[in-house]
Structure 1
């Protein structure tokens, strides 16, 4: 085997082991951190497999299984990174199970090898891998615009472009070269690119931005804008939750004059119903306030305690919805009409946001507030 290929593969694996050790020390208790560690372990096994003298079926399976788990781990990591408390979709687990069982059956079951379906199973395994990688990339894209955590936005972009794109390229190349000879130099080029990616990741996470993952990963379940000292909404919001005025004063104490003015302007705009605009984005809100988008992002994130712009809007929208659903004079209004009035495009996101706040559906809430 070419010495340069062995050298670059060894470099890549060493760098990935360094990154995995850092993750184990700091993020092993985080679900997203564990999925990322599993992903790195799979990549290491993938790179080492051509260099190791594996002959027994058990050793081959143990080396291949972490590699098979890389696409599912990427999707699960992306979902945990970006979910803001949303559960992983139930329909995703059968897809993940299928993406594991198909390559294991194709490559590691002797009975199937004698029957000869390996080719068909191998062909099926490739789109399953690509599908899970694409699902992870779509998760990174979802709500990217509304993400208020700048470090997480950079991490999303890096994962989307570098990791997701590179994995898609590798899976496609594997499928292509299973039918055509591998051109000379391609394995070495692959090992070199893996080394460069690993070096860039280690440089970023260990030196340039050591807190990037800490700032990006979801906070503990007990921490949320509603339970922190930061205000969930202005002090005279519709439901009048206590403590918001004190939180605003505390946040304002750390602001300069321009930021304090923007915060007051933001609060006045939202109290006046600015949140009712359907499809409102952080960019549109910044234009309405005459502010720079990144400044407004930082204000809502660091001084009001929100990680996602939609969650910030939901505070105001669910406040108004709660008051209107509890109002006997509006009991004739359909829930959908209220949802559309306060800025939602459809009933589904309104129901989801409402249930996160009250742990019941809008209809159940109305029945409890206005007994028949």
Structure 2
């Protein structure tokens, strides 16, 4: 095996262990942190696999399993990072289960008498991997514009472009080189790129912005009482005159019903207020405490909806009409936002407020 390949692979593995140790110390209590650790463990096993001579079938399966889990862990981490208010879809566990069972069977069952079945399982495993990675990238892209946490927006961009894109290339190349010879230098190039990615991650996580990941991840579950060592978010600075004026202008605009504009984005709101988008984004995040622009809009929209649903004079209005009036495109997102606030549907809420 080429010495440069061994060197770069060892370097990447050492850096991955360093990052994993940092994550275990600070973020093991958070679901997103745990999925990120699983993903890094899978990458570590993937890089080490060509350097090891594993013979026992059970040992090979246990060592290969973290690698098989990488696409699923990437999707689950992306969902936890970006969808704080939404549960992971139940249907998502079906492709995740298939993405574990199919490659495990293809890699570790004996197909001496049925080689065609082995080929079919191997071919099926590839679109499953690509599909899960693509699903994770879609999660990272969704609501990117409405995300108010600047550190998380940067993390989304890095994961989307660097990590997700690189994983898609690796899976596609793996499948391609199953049927064609691997060109000289490709394994070394792969190890070099893995080293550069992990070095950049270490530099960012441990030196340049040690608190960025803690700021990006959703809060740990309340039931977890074990403290973490993440860097606390800095306290918001007092507003200067321009910021105070913008805040007052924003509040007046919202009280006047600015939130009712269907499909309102923070960019459009900044244009309406004559403000810079990044200034408005920071104001809503750091001084009003919202992590997502839609969450901010929902506060006003659900307040108005609650009042209108409890108003006997509007009892004749369909729920859909109220939802459209206050800025929602359809009933589904309105119902979801309303239920998060009141733990009941709009129809149930109206029935409680206006008993027959």
Asked if these proteins are the same fold (TM beyond 0.5), I'd say yes
Q: How does 1:56-75 map to 2 (within 5 A)?
A: 56-75=56-75
Cross-structure match for 2:7: 7
1:47 aligns with 2:22: no
Q: Which moved more, 1:56-65 or 1:349-358?
A: 56-65
1:115 aligns with 2:114: yes
1:25 aligns with 2:25: yes
1:321 aligns with 2:271: no
1:162 aligns with 2:162: yes
Cross-structure match for 2:284: 300
Q: CA deviation at 1:220?
A: 3.6
TM-score w.r.t. the length of structure 2 is 0.95
Show CA shifts across 1:186-234 (max 9, x none): 00000000000000000000000101110000124559xxxxxxxxxxx
Q: How does 1:347-358 map to 2 (within 5 A)?
A: 347-358=331-342
1:194 aligns with 2:178: no
Cross-structure match for 1:255: 239
Paired residue total: 344
C-alpha contact (below 8 Å) 1:33/1:77 kept by paired residues: yes
Cross-structure match for 2:328: 344
Cross-structure match for 1:264: 248
Could you say what the CA RMSD is over the residues aligned between the two structures, in angstroms? 1.3
Q: Which moved more, 1:355-364 or 1:55-64?
A: 55-64
C-alpha distance in 2 between matches for 1:329 and 1:62 = 65
Describe the shift of the 1:179–1:332 C-alpha distance in structure 2 as closer, same or farther (beyond 3 A): same
Unaligned runs of 5+ in 2: 224-234
C-alpha distance in 2 between matches for 1:265 and 1:282 = 15
Show CA shifts across 1:158-209 (max 9, x none): 0000000000000000000000000000000000000000000000000001
1:93 aligns with 2:93: yes
C-alpha distance in 2 between matches for 1:30 and 1:84 = 12
C-alpha distance in 1 between matches for 2:298 and 2:91 = 26
Cross-structure match for 2:137: 137
C-alpha contact (below 8 Å) 2:339/2:345 kept by paired residues: yes
C-alpha distance in 1 between matches for 2:135 and 2:39 = 15
Cross-structure match for 2:260: 276
Q: CA deviation at 1:115?
A: 2.3
Q: CA deviation at 1:85?
A: 2.6
C-alpha distance in 2 between matches for 1:339 and 1:219 = 30
Q: 1:364 aligns with which of 318, 325, 348?
A: 348
Q: Comparing both chains, which one has the higher relative contact order based on Cα–Cα distances under 8 Å and sequence gaps of 6 or more?
A: 2
Show CA shifts across 1:352-371 (max 9, x none): 00000000000000000000
C-alpha distance in 2 between matches for 1:114 and 1:51 = 29
C-alpha contact (below 8 Å) 2:259/2:301 kept by paired residues: yes
C-alpha contact (below 8 Å) 2:30/2:221 kept by paired residues: no
C-alpha distance in 2 between matches for 1:221 and 1:288 = 37
Q: How does 1:196-235 map to 2 (within 5 A)?
A: 196-221=196-221
Q: How does 1:72-83 map to 2 (within 5 A)?
A: 72-83=72-83
C-alpha distance in 1 between matches for 2:112 and 2:311 = 68
TM-score w.r.t. the length of structure 1 is 0.91
C-alpha distance in 2 between matches for 1:40 and 1:217 = 16
C-alpha distance in 2 between matches for 1:185 and 1:73 = 29
C-alpha contact (below 8 Å) 1:107/1:113 kept by paired residues: no
Q: Match of 2:113, SS?
A: helix
C-alpha contact (below 8 Å) 2:148/2:282 kept by paired residues: yes
Q: CA deviation at 1:254?
A: 1.7
Q: Match of 1:258, SS?
A: helix
Cross-structure match for 2:274: 290
Q: CA deviation at 1:71?
A: 0.2
C-alpha contact (below 8 Å) 2:29/2:220 kept by paired residues: no
Cross-structure match for 1:228: none
